[in-house]
Amino acid sequence: VIVEIVAVGTELLLGQIVNSNVAFIGERLARDGFDVHHQVTVGDNLDRLAETIRTAIGRSGAVVLTGGIGPTQDDLTREALCLVAGVGMARDRAHAEAIRDRITRLRGSVSENTLRMADYPETATPLPNSNGVALGVAMEIEGVHVYAVPGVPGEMSAMVDEEVLPRLREASGEPAVVRSRVIRTWGLGESRVAEILDDLYASANPTVAFLITDSEVKVRITAKAESVAAADAMIDELDAVVASRLAGVVFGRDDETIESIIVTRLQDLGWRIATVEEVTLGTVGSRIAEAAAGTCVYAGTLTVPSGAAVNEGRAAELLGVVDGFLEADVVLAIGGVDRQVTPDDSTRSVGVAVRTPAGTTTDTVALYGGDDRVRRFAAVGALHALRRALA
Amino acid sequence: VIVEIVAVGTELLLGQIVNSNVAFIGERLARDGFDVHHQVTVGDNLDRLAETIRTAIGRSGAVVLTGGIGPTQDDLTREALCLVAGVGMARDRAHAEAIRDRITRLRGSVSENTLRMADYPETATPLPNSNGVALGVAMEIEGVHVYAVPGVPGEMSAMVDEEVLPRLREASGEPAVVRSRVIRTWGLGESRVAEILDDLYASANPTVAFLITDSEVKVRITAKAESVAAADAMIDELDAVVASRLAGVVFGRDDETIESIIVTRLQDLGWRIATVEEVTLGTVGSRIAEAAAGTCVYAGTLTVPSGAAVNEGRAAELLGVVDGFLEADVVLAIGGVDRQVTPDDSTRSVGVAVRTPAGTTTDTVALYGGDDRVRRFAAVGALHALRRALA
């Protein structure tokens, strides 16, 4: 099925916000095997919105609209759908009363416009909004499946995952369940991982895809099946193959970030950690502190201006500077950038040192690119050096 | 003139990257007074790309395409323009030789595909690329002005500013020069600033617009005139009005960030600064450290886990913890979150303390929202408290 994505909102045309919604929806549709040929963004104008919906219906098998279902006069997606389908508007009375009660309690009164969030084209199925108030829409117009979801990202993403994708898969005769698992690796480049897993790309179900964030290469396995258990069993099988081929570089799955893995490990060991940072300006400590919220494992971070020494020497030097000051069992130090400027870009190396009750390790991370990139990649490299030191 | 923006690239449809290019182009067009009714994204497919260009030409006065002019077989924007215009392809021989020399020097050889970056539809004017290799395109098809720029953000933005907008303004009979100035304010909400400047919105040239980033309200003045001097004079006049009405909250203009202003002030005073941070996890120190690169004003940052005390008490307590440890003349401490959870969101307050050789000031910043938002807004609030303490 070819799906068209329509984003609604004058603020998008004016460039006041970057349209991350269409990227989210596009990624989800691609994951589930749907093709997208056009994404269109149109402003809060009834005629142009209706025309855009007509064009989409004329050339696609399904249409997902995002935005324009809020409470203001500018929110015209519902009206445009009624216009195109030639139907009237219905209201979910119970939901309207719930909105009235809630808003009145909050602000003392409610405007009639606000109650429009309980409206939907009379031939449509209203879609529940698990993160907000406005109802979504699922309807058929001239045999084409049309869905409208909010423009607020958190409401949009939940409604796409919970309501739109399952309906779209069912409508298109796809298996009811699509499950994904991300296998997170660090230490091999994308092209090397691609080589090692080359033959697995031929697999149509489950599929294998790559995602890359900073220096982390993620392998995503997606399976379609009739049940969650069947899909998970298919994923488990391929996961075992990937994990055995990439032994030593797989460090987690799905939401297991490198920070969360480190925090869990420190909790198990009963150790507290401090970081001392030069190049990374405290970003490693702040990532650990966020992951450690509610635990006692984070002891603090010291960021210092650059010193004279480079690499491992400087990192080892920094290990001592918090002694007697921050109470930590483990100290991670990042410091000492060595710049080697090459004709076309610059490569640099950053020293990383880790001291635990079991001993001290030092390491050098080689990086290239601008300051921002070096900072980001040095942070990831240091976190992985720490993970290995705690293993 | 109504302008249509067309983004080209299958990676955009797949959601692999977020389309920030159309936001940039939309923002620039809005600034210069052009209306945008449609943004369309289409994949690397010749027929659909040509069809999308035809549709855009049929309903708009000008079209800006971004993407699809690189060196690979997938880059089809030039071919699609030839197809729609019914013309052949030309090659800038000198540019092709320059590409050949450059790439051969870098990689030892050059592929014929790479030389396509010197091609353009034969009725078009090739546009120079100040940040890259591929030529852009300016041409007229059926009386509609069509421009093609790269998809690489740095190349796209430079070519839009340097080539496309001046041509578009000239083609549409707009004055040749558009100049903008951003007046940066902090301390008043958007709606209050809007009230104070209400009558200025009626001005058609210069125009007044708002931009909001975190808690900073920026007032942008844009003037169109026949010369830079004339445009700047118009801006100066309105700037004086805005600055006098918003006296006390204007802190900078254009690229003067709050960090850069603080660093300049510290340099003037000959003082070094350290920060001690609880809530903000070192982000204030890292902003100052980045702005202070190449200077001696940054002495370091200590991030500590949350203590028991709240607000100003805790912030004042933190002022002392780096004494005898980080050598600083000025210490900024941020700490002590007080949470007051209300039924629908939570408001919190964060303590900020600043110690300079001239004395100590403490302050409380009231905030609402999630952890991330509180951290970001507390950082901005602390930077402004610091600025005032240094004034």
Mark out the alpha helices in chain A (DSSP H runs).
Answer: 10-13, 20-31, 46-59, 77-85, 93-107, 153-159, 165-171, 190-196, 228-245, 258-269, 283-291, 311-319, 371-390
Task: Give the gap in angstroms from C-alpha B307 to the nearest C-alpha of chain A.
Answer: 11
Of B23, B293, B326, which is closest to A15 when you measure between CB atoms?
B23
Task: Give the gap in angstroms from C-alpha B268 to the nearest C-alpha of chain A.
Answer: 20
Tell me what pLDDT residue B6 has: 98
Tell me what pLDDT residue B339 has: 63
Q: For residue A283, list chain B residues with Cβ-Cβ distance below 8 A.
A: 282, 286
Of A15, A289, A326, which is closest to B281 when you measure between CB atoms?
A289
Q: Do B36 and A13 touch (CB under 8 A)?
A: yes
Of B290, B303, B371, which is closest to A285 when you measure between CB atoms?
B303
pLDDT band of residue A340 (cuts 50, 70, 90) is low
Q: Do A303 and B289 touch (CB under 8 A)?
A: yes
Higher per-residue pLDDT: A149 or B228: A149
Please say whether the beta carbons of B334 and B286 come within 8 A: no
Question: CA-nearest residue of chain B to A31?
Answer: B14
pLDDT band of residue A177 (cuts 50, 70, 90) is confident
Q: What is the mean pLDDT of residues B42-52?
A: 96
Q: Do B26 and A12 touch (CB under 8 A)?
A: yes
Mark out the alpha helices in B250-391 (DSSP H runs).
Answer: 258-269, 283-291, 311-319, 371-390
Kindly tell me if the per-residue pLDDT of A248 is higher than 90.
Answer: no
Q: For residue B26, list chain A residues with Cβ-Cβ distance below 8 A.
A: 12-15
Q: For residue A30, list chain B residues with Cβ-Cβ distance below 8 A.
A: 13-15
Across A78-87, A171-180, A287-296, B95-104, least confident range: A171-180
Question: What residues are paired with B63 via a beta bridge?
Answer: B4, B146
Give the model confidence (pLDDT) of B261-307 as tens digits.
Answer: 999 999 999 999 999 999 899 999 999 999 998 899 999 999 998 77
Tell me what pLDDT residue B209 has: 83
One DSSP character per residue, B24-92 reads: HHHHHHHHTT-EEEEEEEE-S-HHHHHHHHHHHHHH-SEEEEES--SSSTT--HHHHHHHHHT--EEE-
Q: Do A13 and B28 touch (CB under 8 A)?
A: no
Task: Name the percent of chain A in helix, strand, coil, to the closest 5.
Answer: 40, 30, 30
**Side chain identity at residue B299, one-letter code:** A
Q: What is the mean pLDDT of residues A178-190?
A: 89
Q: Do B38 and A39 touch (CB under 8 A)?
A: no
Q: Do A39 and B41 touch (CB under 8 A)?
A: yes
Q: For residue B293, list chain A residues with Cβ-Cβ distance below 8 A.
A: 371
Q: Do B18 and A20 touch (CB under 8 A)?
A: yes
Please say whether the beta carbons of A391 and A261 come within 8 A: no
d(CA B375, CA B386): 16
ipTM of the complex: 0.77
Q: For residue B40, list chain A residues with Cβ-Cβ distance below 8 A.
A: 38-41
Q: Do A38 and B22 touch (CB under 8 A)?
A: no
Radius of gyration from C-alpha coordinates of chain B: 26
d(CA A283, CA A372): 12
Give the model confidence (pLDDT) of B174-198 as tens digits.
Answer: 777 788 899 999 988 877 888 899 8
Q: For residue B290, list chain A residues with Cβ-Cβ distance below 8 A.
A: 281
Please say whether the beta carbons of A338 and A348 come within 8 A: yes
Q: What is the mean pLDDT of residues B244-261?
A: 94
Angle at A156 between CA A152 and CA A159, to 5 degrees: 145
d(CA B22, CA A39): 12
d(CA A316, CA A10): 54
Q: For residue B37, list chain A residues with Cβ-Cβ distance below 8 A.
A: 13, 42-43, 45, 48
Q: For residue B337, list chain A residues with Cβ-Cβ distance below 8 A.
A: none
Q: Best mutation site among B32, B34, B39 for testing chain A: the one with the most A CBs within 10 Å?
A: B39
Kindly tell me if the per-residue pLDDT of A175 is higher than 90.
Answer: no
Helix axes A46-59, A77-85, angle to 10 degrees: 60
d(CA A265, CA A259): 10
Give the model confidence (pLDDT) of B304-322 as tens digits.
Answer: 987 767 778 888 888 888 8
Kindly tell me if the per-residue pLDDT of B98 is higher than 80.
Answer: yes
Closest by Cα among A196, A140, A207 to A171: A140
pLDDT band of residue A339 (cuts 50, 70, 90) is low
